[in-house]
Protein backbone atom coordinates (compact mmCIF):
# COMPACT_ATOMS: atom_id res chain seq x y z
CA UNK A 1 0.00 0.00 0.00
CA UNK A 2 1.38 3.40 -0.99
CA UNK A 3 1.38 6.54 1.12
CA UNK A 4 2.66 10.01 0.28
CA UNK A 5 5.44 9.75 2.87
CA UNK A 6 6.31 6.09 2.27
CA UNK A 7 5.02 2.60 1.53
CA UNK A 8 3.76 -0.36 3.53
CA UNK A 9 5.15 -3.79 2.80
CA UNK A 10 5.30 -7.24 4.36
CA UNK A 11 8.62 -8.09 5.99
CA UNK A 12 9.10 -11.80 5.40
CA UNK A 13 12.17 -11.86 7.65
CA UNK A 14 10.37 -10.60 10.76
CA UNK A 15 6.88 -11.77 9.66
CA UNK A 16 5.26 -8.39 10.24
CA UNK A 17 3.99 -5.29 8.42
CA UNK A 18 6.75 -2.72 7.83
CA UNK A 19 6.52 0.96 6.88
CA UNK A 20 9.42 2.27 4.80
CA UNK A 21 9.78 6.03 4.47
CA UNK A 22 10.54 7.58 1.10
CA UNK A 23 13.80 8.96 2.40
CA UNK A 24 15.05 5.40 2.86
CA UNK A 25 17.62 4.17 0.38
CA UNK A 26 16.41 2.09 -2.50
CA UNK A 27 12.62 2.58 -2.15
CA UNK A 28 10.99 2.31 -5.58
CA UNK A 29 8.21 4.56 -6.85
CA UNK A 30 4.57 3.67 -6.15
CA UNK A 31 3.85 2.73 -9.75
CA UNK A 32 6.52 0.05 -9.53
CA UNK A 33 4.76 -1.75 -6.71
CA UNK A 34 2.52 -3.69 -9.10
CA UNK A 35 5.46 -5.25 -10.91
CA UNK A 36 8.18 -5.40 -8.22
CA UNK A 37 7.93 -7.78 -5.29
CA UNK A 38 9.69 -6.96 -2.07
CA UNK A 39 11.74 -9.86 -0.83
CA UNK A 40 13.35 -10.27 2.55
CA UNK A 41 16.75 -9.61 1.00
CA UNK A 42 15.63 -6.17 -0.22
CA UNK A 43 14.24 -5.23 3.18
CA UNK A 44 17.36 -6.48 4.95
CA UNK A 45 19.53 -4.42 2.61
CA UNK A 46 17.48 -1.34 3.46
CA UNK A 47 17.89 -1.99 7.18
CA UNK A 48 21.65 -2.34 6.78
CA UNK A 49 21.87 0.86 4.76
CA UNK A 50 19.95 2.81 7.40
CA UNK A 51 22.05 1.55 10.30
CA UNK A 52 25.43 1.32 8.62
CA UNK A 53 28.53 2.86 10.19
CA UNK A 54 31.50 3.91 8.10
CA UNK A 55 34.43 1.59 8.69
CA UNK A 56 37.99 2.17 7.55
CA UNK A 57 40.63 -0.16 6.19
CA UNK A 58 43.15 -1.36 8.73
CA UNK A 59 46.11 -1.25 6.36
CA UNK A 60 46.60 0.31 2.93
CA UNK A 61 49.38 -1.62 1.27
CA UNK A 62 51.84 -0.65 -1.43
CA UNK A 63 49.69 -2.11 -4.19
CA UNK A 64 46.64 -0.15 -3.04
CA UNK A 65 48.68 3.05 -2.84
CA UNK A 66 49.93 2.51 -6.39
CA UNK A 67 46.33 1.96 -7.49
CA UNK A 68 45.25 5.19 -5.77
CA UNK A 69 48.10 7.15 -7.30
CA UNK A 70 47.28 5.93 -10.82
CA UNK A 71 43.48 5.97 -10.75
CA UNK A 72 42.03 8.10 -7.97
CA UNK A 73 44.58 10.83 -7.27
CA UNK A 74 43.59 14.29 -8.45
CA UNK A 75 45.16 15.11 -11.83
CA UNK A 76 46.98 18.42 -12.14
CA UNK A 77 47.98 20.17 -15.38
CA UNK A 78 51.54 21.34 -15.85
CA UNK A 79 50.42 24.98 -15.69
CA UNK A 80 48.65 24.54 -12.34
CA UNK A 81 50.29 24.56 -8.89
CA UNK A 82 50.68 21.04 -7.52
CA UNK A 83 49.90 21.61 -3.83
CA UNK A 84 47.76 19.79 -1.29
CA UNK A 85 44.11 20.88 -1.40
CA UNK A 86 41.06 19.98 0.66
CA UNK A 87 40.01 17.74 -2.25
CA UNK A 88 43.21 15.70 -1.93
CA UNK A 89 42.52 15.08 1.74
CA UNK A 90 38.94 14.04 0.98
CA UNK A 91 40.18 11.64 -1.70
CA UNK A 92 42.46 9.89 0.79
CA UNK A 93 39.70 9.76 3.41
CA UNK A 94 37.21 8.18 0.98
CA UNK A 95 39.77 5.68 -0.30
CA UNK A 96 40.60 4.72 3.29
CA UNK A 97 37.04 3.66 4.11
CA UNK A 98 35.18 0.55 3.03
CA UNK A 99 33.20 1.29 -0.13
CA UNK A 100 30.28 -0.82 1.08
CA UNK A 101 29.72 1.43 4.13
CA UNK A 102 29.27 4.68 2.21
CA UNK A 103 26.48 5.77 -0.11
CA UNK A 104 26.62 7.58 -3.47
CA UNK A 105 24.32 10.24 -2.06
CA UNK A 106 26.82 11.04 0.67
CA UNK A 107 29.58 11.32 -1.95
CA UNK A 108 27.58 14.08 -3.67
CA UNK A 109 26.89 15.72 -0.31
CA UNK A 110 30.58 15.47 0.63
CA UNK A 111 31.59 17.18 -2.63
CA UNK A 112 29.72 20.43 -2.12
CA UNK A 113 31.32 23.81 -1.62
CA UNK A 114 29.62 24.18 1.78
CA UNK A 115 31.30 20.99 3.02
CA UNK A 116 34.70 22.10 1.71
CA UNK A 117 34.47 25.36 3.65
CA UNK A 118 33.25 23.51 6.75
CA UNK A 119 36.18 21.06 6.63
CA UNK A 120 38.68 23.87 6.22
CA UNK A 121 37.25 25.69 9.23
CA UNK A 122 37.54 22.48 11.23
CA UNK A 123 41.21 22.07 10.31
CA UNK A 124 41.96 25.63 11.44
CA UNK A 125 39.98 25.20 14.66
CA UNK A 126 41.69 21.96 15.64
CA UNK A 127 45.12 23.26 14.70
CA UNK A 128 44.67 26.12 17.17
CA UNK A 129 42.94 23.79 19.66
CA UNK A 130 45.99 21.51 19.72
CA UNK A 131 48.28 24.45 20.39
CA UNK A 132 46.23 25.44 23.43
CA UNK A 133 45.92 21.81 24.56
CA UNK A 134 49.68 21.31 24.51
CA UNK A 135 50.19 24.58 26.35
CA UNK A 136 47.70 23.57 29.04
CA UNK A 137 49.37 20.20 29.49
CA UNK A 138 52.71 21.90 30.00
CA UNK A 139 51.23 24.38 32.46
CA UNK A 140 49.60 21.55 34.40
CA UNK A 141 53.07 20.23 35.18
CA UNK A 142 54.38 23.68 36.11
CA UNK A 143 51.37 24.41 38.36
CA UNK A 144 52.59 21.78 40.83
CA UNK A 145 55.66 23.85 41.66
CA UNK A 146 54.55 27.43 40.91
CA UNK A 147 51.98 29.81 42.39
CA UNK A 148 49.19 31.09 40.16
CA UNK A 149 49.49 34.81 39.38
CA UNK A 150 46.44 37.12 38.82
CA UNK A 151 47.69 38.10 35.35
CA UNK A 152 47.28 34.48 34.26
CA UNK A 153 43.48 34.82 34.29
CA UNK A 154 43.66 37.80 31.93
CA UNK A 155 45.91 35.93 29.51
CA UNK A 156 43.64 32.89 29.67
CA UNK A 157 40.65 35.05 28.77
CA UNK A 158 42.41 36.23 25.60
CA UNK A 159 43.20 32.66 24.62
CA UNK A 160 39.62 31.58 25.39
CA UNK A 161 38.19 34.36 23.20
CA UNK A 162 40.53 33.54 20.30
CA UNK A 163 39.54 29.89 20.43
CA UNK A 164 35.88 30.92 20.59
CA UNK A 165 36.37 32.96 17.42
CA UNK A 166 37.74 29.91 15.63
CA UNK A 167 34.80 27.90 16.95
CA UNK A 168 32.35 30.52 15.70
CA UNK A 169 33.69 30.11 12.15
CA UNK A 170 33.03 26.37 12.41
CA UNK A 171 29.55 27.21 13.71
CA UNK A 172 28.91 29.56 10.82
CA UNK A 173 29.80 26.97 8.20
CA UNK A 174 27.92 24.25 10.08
CA UNK A 175 24.82 26.48 10.14
CA UNK A 176 25.05 26.86 6.36
CA UNK A 177 24.79 23.07 6.04
CA UNK A 178 21.94 22.78 8.56
CA UNK A 179 19.91 25.53 6.90
CA UNK A 180 20.57 24.30 3.37
CA UNK A 181 22.14 27.47 2.00
CA UNK A 182 23.84 27.48 -1.39
CA UNK A 183 24.69 24.12 -2.91
CA UNK A 184 23.74 22.43 0.39
CA UNK A 185 20.06 23.14 -0.33
CA UNK A 186 19.40 19.95 -2.29
CA UNK A 187 20.58 17.90 0.71
CA UNK A 188 18.33 19.69 3.22
CA UNK A 189 15.87 17.44 5.01
CA UNK A 190 12.89 19.58 3.86
CA UNK A 191 13.93 19.70 0.21
CA UNK A 192 11.29 17.35 -1.22
CA UNK A 193 8.02 17.65 -3.09
CA UNK A 194 5.93 16.56 -0.10
CA UNK A 195 7.46 19.31 2.10
CA UNK A 196 8.09 16.75 4.84
CA UNK A 197 11.16 16.22 6.97
CA UNK A 198 13.26 13.33 5.66
CA UNK A 199 14.68 12.57 9.09
CA UNK A 200 16.20 9.17 8.28
CA UNK A 201 18.03 10.50 5.25
CA UNK A 202 19.20 13.55 7.19
CA UNK A 203 20.45 11.38 10.06
CA UNK A 204 22.44 9.13 7.72
CA UNK A 205 24.12 12.04 5.96
CA UNK A 206 25.14 13.82 9.15
CA UNK A 207 26.29 10.67 10.95
CA UNK A 208 28.57 9.92 8.01
CA UNK A 209 29.66 13.56 7.83
CA UNK A 210 30.88 13.52 11.45
CA UNK A 211 32.87 10.33 10.92
CA UNK A 212 34.45 11.56 7.69
CA UNK A 213 35.17 15.00 9.16
CA UNK A 214 37.17 13.39 11.95
CA UNK A 215 39.20 11.49 9.37
CA UNK A 216 39.77 14.59 7.19
CA UNK A 217 40.97 16.70 10.13
CA UNK A 218 43.25 13.89 11.30
CA UNK A 219 44.86 13.58 7.85
CA UNK A 220 45.05 17.36 7.41
CA UNK A 221 46.99 17.74 10.66
CA UNK A 222 49.65 15.11 9.94
CA UNK A 223 47.75 12.22 11.59
CA UNK A 224 48.06 13.37 15.18
CA UNK A 225 45.66 13.40 18.13
CA UNK A 226 42.97 11.18 16.57
CA UNK A 227 41.36 10.43 19.95
CA UNK A 228 41.34 14.10 20.91
CA UNK A 229 39.78 15.02 17.55
CA UNK A 230 37.08 12.41 18.07
CA UNK A 231 36.36 13.68 21.58
CA UNK A 232 36.07 17.37 20.66
CA UNK A 233 34.26 16.80 17.35
CA UNK A 234 31.54 14.77 19.04
CA UNK A 235 31.22 17.34 21.83
CA UNK A 236 31.00 20.16 19.32
CA UNK A 237 28.38 18.62 17.02
CA UNK A 238 26.55 16.09 19.23
CA UNK A 239 27.02 17.43 22.81
CA UNK A 240 28.46 15.22 25.54
CA UNK A 241 25.01 13.76 26.19
CA UNK A 242 25.00 11.95 22.85
CA UNK A 243 28.73 11.61 22.26
CA UNK A 244 29.87 8.01 21.69
CA UNK A 245 33.25 8.96 23.14
CA UNK A 246 31.75 9.93 26.51
CA UNK A 247 29.81 6.66 26.75
CA UNK A 248 32.74 4.31 26.28
CA UNK A 249 33.18 1.73 29.01
CA UNK A 250 36.91 2.39 29.19
CA UNK A 251 38.16 5.95 28.59
CA UNK A 252 41.67 7.31 28.45
CA UNK A 253 42.20 9.51 31.49
CA UNK A 254 44.94 11.40 29.67
CA UNK A 255 42.21 13.44 27.94
CA UNK A 256 40.43 14.47 31.16
CA UNK A 257 40.47 18.19 31.86
CA UNK A 258 40.26 20.35 34.98
CA UNK A 259 37.57 23.03 35.49
CA UNK A 260 40.15 25.75 34.78
CA UNK A 261 41.04 24.08 31.49
CA UNK A 262 37.37 23.62 30.57
CA UNK A 263 36.85 27.35 31.03
CA UNK A 264 39.36 27.95 28.24
CA UNK A 265 38.57 25.03 25.92
CA UNK A 266 34.76 25.13 26.12
CA UNK A 267 34.29 28.90 26.27
CA UNK A 268 31.64 31.11 27.82
CA UNK A 269 28.90 30.46 25.24
CA UNK A 270 28.16 26.92 26.41
CA UNK A 271 24.84 26.38 28.18
CA UNK A 272 23.63 23.21 29.88
CA UNK A 273 20.10 22.63 28.59
CA UNK A 274 17.45 19.95 28.88
CA UNK A 275 18.52 16.67 27.35
CA UNK A 276 16.11 16.43 24.40
CA UNK A 277 16.24 20.18 23.69
CA UNK A 278 20.00 20.58 24.12
CA UNK A 279 21.51 22.55 21.26
CA UNK A 280 24.98 21.59 20.13
CA UNK A 281 27.88 23.80 21.31
CA UNK A 282 28.48 24.70 17.66
CA UNK A 283 25.02 26.30 17.49
CA UNK A 284 25.25 27.83 20.97
CA UNK A 285 28.44 29.64 19.97
CA UNK A 286 26.53 31.82 17.50
CA UNK A 287 23.51 32.34 19.76
CA UNK A 288 25.01 33.13 23.16
CA UNK A 289 28.26 34.92 22.31
CA UNK A 290 29.15 38.07 20.41
CA UNK A 291 31.76 37.79 17.67
CA UNK A 292 33.28 40.24 15.25
CA UNK A 293 30.86 40.58 12.34
CA UNK A 294 33.79 41.31 10.04
CA UNK A 295 35.28 37.91 10.83
CA UNK A 296 31.96 36.14 10.25
CA UNK A 297 31.73 37.89 6.86
CA UNK A 298 34.97 36.31 5.61
CA UNK A 299 34.31 34.62 2.27
CA UNK A 300 30.93 36.38 1.98
CA UNK A 301 31.69 40.09 1.63
CA UNK A 302 34.71 42.35 1.46
CA UNK A 303 35.01 44.52 4.58
CA UNK A 304 36.95 47.76 4.21
CA UNK A 305 39.45 49.07 6.75
CA UNK A 306 40.77 45.67 7.63
CA UNK A 307 43.33 45.30 10.40
CA UNK A 308 46.13 42.73 10.64
CA UNK A 309 43.91 40.18 12.40
CA UNK A 310 41.19 40.40 9.76
CA UNK A 311 43.68 40.03 6.90
CA UNK A 312 45.29 37.00 8.53
CA UNK A 313 41.99 35.22 9.13
CA UNK A 314 40.69 36.12 5.68
CA UNK A 315 43.69 34.45 4.09
CA UNK A 316 43.35 31.39 6.33
CA UNK A 317 39.67 30.80 5.63
CA UNK A 318 39.14 31.93 2.04
CA UNK A 319 42.45 32.17 0.15
CA UNK A 320 43.08 29.38 -2.41
CA UNK A 321 45.48 26.74 -1.15
CA UNK A 322 48.23 27.73 -3.57
CA UNK A 323 48.44 31.19 -1.93
CA UNK A 324 48.79 30.02 1.68
CA UNK A 325 52.54 29.40 1.57
CA UNK A 326 53.34 32.82 0.07
CA UNK A 327 51.00 34.51 2.57
CA UNK A 328 52.75 32.63 5.41
CA UNK A 329 49.46 31.36 6.82
CA UNK A 330 49.70 27.71 7.97
CA UNK A 331 46.48 25.67 7.59
CA UNK A 332 47.50 22.09 8.31
CA UNK A 333 49.11 20.51 5.27
CA UNK A 334 47.05 22.64 2.86
CA UNK A 335 49.17 24.56 0.37
CA UNK A 336 52.28 22.39 0.84
CA UNK A 337 53.63 20.88 -2.42
CA UNK A 338 52.43 17.31 -2.93
CA UNK A 339 55.93 16.13 -3.78
CA UNK A 340 56.70 16.07 -0.05
CA UNK A 341 53.97 13.47 0.61
CA UNK A 342 53.29 9.93 -0.49
CA UNK A 343 50.02 8.75 -2.04
CA UNK A 344 48.25 8.69 1.37
CA UNK A 345 49.50 12.22 2.24
CA UNK A 346 52.02 10.98 4.76
CA UNK A 347 55.23 13.05 4.86
CA UNK A 348 58.02 11.33 2.93
CA UNK A 349 60.89 10.44 5.25
CA UNK A 350 64.53 10.94 4.36
CA UNK A 351 65.47 7.44 5.46
CA UNK A 352 64.02 4.42 7.20
CA UNK A 353 66.45 4.56 10.13
CA UNK A 354 66.00 8.22 11.10
CA UNK A 355 62.45 9.53 11.38
CA UNK A 356 63.10 12.81 9.59
CA UNK A 357 60.64 14.29 7.13
CA UNK A 358 61.40 16.27 4.01
CA UNK A 359 59.02 19.00 5.15
CA UNK A 360 59.45 21.22 8.17
CA UNK A 361 56.98 21.01 11.08
CA UNK A 362 53.79 22.98 10.51
CA UNK A 363 54.19 26.44 12.13
CA UNK A 364 51.84 27.54 14.88
CA UNK A 365 48.64 29.35 13.95
CA UNK A 366 49.40 32.72 15.56
CA UNK A 367 46.37 35.03 15.57
CA UNK A 368 47.16 38.77 15.68
CA UNK A 369 45.58 40.64 18.61
CA UNK A 370 42.13 42.14 18.21
CA UNK A 371 41.85 45.90 17.75
CA UNK A 372 38.69 47.64 19.00
CA UNK A 373 36.34 48.62 16.20
CA UNK A 374 33.09 50.52 15.73
CA UNK A 375 30.02 49.16 13.95
CA UNK A 376 28.95 51.75 11.39
CA UNK A 377 26.34 49.77 9.49
CA UNK A 378 23.73 47.12 10.22
CA UNK A 379 24.22 45.47 6.82
CA UNK A 380 27.22 43.97 5.09
CA UNK A 381 28.63 45.54 1.91
CA UNK A 382 27.60 43.95 -1.37
CA UNK A 383 31.14 43.79 -2.74
CA UNK A 384 32.33 40.18 -3.17
CA UNK A 385 35.01 38.64 -1.02
CA UNK A 386 38.66 39.35 -1.77
CA UNK A 387 39.45 35.69 -2.43
CA UNK A 388 37.28 33.54 -4.67
CA UNK A 389 37.28 29.85 -5.41
CA UNK A 390 39.29 29.09 -8.55
CA UNK A 391 37.88 27.44 -11.66
CA UNK A 392 40.35 24.57 -11.30
CA UNK A 393 39.01 23.83 -7.81
CA UNK A 394 35.42 23.64 -9.06
CA UNK A 395 36.37 21.39 -11.97
CA UNK A 396 38.40 19.08 -9.73
CA UNK A 397 35.54 18.80 -7.23
CA UNK A 398 33.04 17.85 -9.95
CA UNK A 399 35.37 15.34 -11.60
CA UNK A 400 36.35 13.68 -8.33
CA UNK A 401 32.70 13.53 -7.25
CA UNK A 402 31.74 11.60 -10.41
CA UNK A 403 34.70 9.27 -10.00
CA UNK A 404 34.00 8.47 -6.34
CA UNK A 405 30.31 7.89 -7.05
CA UNK A 406 31.32 5.26 -9.60
CA UNK A 407 33.74 3.83 -7.06
CA UNK A 408 31.00 3.43 -4.45
CA UNK A 409 28.36 2.19 -6.89
CA UNK A 410 30.71 -0.54 -8.14
CA UNK A 411 31.63 -1.61 -4.61
CA UNK A 412 35.21 -0.35 -4.78
CA UNK A 413 36.03 -1.81 -8.20
CA UNK A 414 38.37 0.40 -10.19
CA UNK A 415 38.19 -1.25 -13.62
CA UNK A 416 35.65 1.17 -15.13
CA UNK A 417 37.27 4.14 -13.42
CA UNK A 418 40.69 3.06 -14.66
CA UNK A 419 39.42 2.95 -18.24
CA UNK A 420 37.94 6.42 -17.92
CA UNK A 421 41.10 7.79 -16.28
CA UNK A 422 43.20 6.31 -19.08
CA UNK A 423 40.98 8.00 -21.65
CA UNK A 424 41.33 11.33 -19.85
CA UNK A 425 45.11 11.04 -19.66
CA UNK A 426 45.24 10.38 -23.41
CA UNK A 427 43.02 13.38 -24.09
CA UNK A 428 45.14 15.62 -21.82
CA UNK A 429 48.74 14.45 -22.18
CA UNK A 430 49.99 17.41 -20.13
CA UNK A 431 48.40 16.27 -16.87
CA UNK A 432 50.47 15.29 -13.85
CA UNK A 433 49.71 12.15 -11.92
Do residues 17 and 122 both lie within one domain?
no
Do residues 222 and 312 both lie within one domain?
yes
Do residues 31 and 151 both lie within one domain?
no
**HSE-up of residue 349 (Cα within 13 Å, Cβ side):** 6
b/e code 203-213 from CB counts within 10 Å (16+ = b)? ebbbbbbbbbb
Per residue in 130-163, pLDDT tens?
999 999 998 888 877 777 788 888 999 999 999 9
Do residues 116 and 21 both lie within one domain?
no
Is the per-residue pLDDT at 354 higher than 80? no
Do residues 313 and 361 both lie within one domain?
yes
DSSP one-letter string for 149-202: PHHHHHHHHHHHHHHHHHHHHHHHHHHHHHHT-GGGGGGSTT-STT----HHHH
Per residue in 82-138, pLDDT tens?
999 999 999 999 999 999 889 999 999 999 999 999 999 999 999 999 999 999 998
Per-residue pLDDT, averaged over 320-339, amounts to 95
Residue-range definition of the domain harbouring residue 108: 70-369+380-402
In a domain, 419, yes or no: no
In a domain, 16, yes or no: yes
In a domain, 428, yes or no: no
Do residues 279 and 201 both lie within one domain?
yes
In a domain, 38, yes or no: yes
Do residues 154 and 301 both lie within one domain?
yes
Q: pLDDT grade, residue 32 (50/70/90)?
A: very low
**Phi, psi (5° rounding) for residue 29?**
-75, 160
Judge whether 46 and 26 are in contact, CB under 8 Å. Answer: yes
Per residue in 396-413, pLDDT tens?
999 999 999 999 999 877
Do residues 30 and 152 both lie within one domain?
no
Length of the chain: 433
Q: Give pLDDT, residue 13.
A: 66
Judge whether 289 and 162 are in contact, CB under 8 Å. Answer: no
In a domain, 125, yes or no: yes
Q: What is the pTM of this model?
A: 0.85
- The number of folded domains in the chain is 2
Among 363, 362, 364, 366, which Cα is nearest to 308's?
366
Q: What radius of gyration do the chain's Cα atoms show?
A: 24
Do residues 32 and 152 both lie within one domain?
no
Instruction: Name the percent of the chain lying above pLDDT 90.
Output: 54
d(CA 178, CA 47): 25
Q: pLDDT grade, residue 350 (50/70/90)?
A: low
Do residues 174 and 29 both lie within one domain?
no
Q: pLDDT grade, residue 427 (50/70/90)?
A: very low
In a domain, 259, yes or no: yes
Do residues 271 and 359 both lie within one domain?
yes
In a domain, 25, yes or no: yes
Is the per-residue pLDDT at 234 higher than 60? yes
In a domain, 413, yes or no: no
d(CA 331, CA 137): 23
Is the per-residue pLDDT at 390 higher than 80? yes
Report strand pairing: 6-11 vs 16-21.
Answer: antiparallel
Helix (H) or strand (E) holding 420, with range, is: helix 415-427
Do residues 78 and 195 both lie within one domain?
yes
Amino acid sequence: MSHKSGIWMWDELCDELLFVSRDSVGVPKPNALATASFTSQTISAQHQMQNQIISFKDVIGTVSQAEFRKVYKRKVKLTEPDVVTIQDIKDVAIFSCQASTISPEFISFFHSQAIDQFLRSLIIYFQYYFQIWNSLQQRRKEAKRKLRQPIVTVLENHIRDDLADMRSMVSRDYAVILMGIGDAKKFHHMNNRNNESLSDRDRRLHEQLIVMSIRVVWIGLCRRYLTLIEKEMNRLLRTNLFSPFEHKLVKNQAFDTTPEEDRILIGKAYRSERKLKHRSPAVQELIFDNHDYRMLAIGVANIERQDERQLYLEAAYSAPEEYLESLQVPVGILGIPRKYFDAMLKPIELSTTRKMSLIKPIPDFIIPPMIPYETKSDTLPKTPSKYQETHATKVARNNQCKMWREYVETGGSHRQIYDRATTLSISFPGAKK
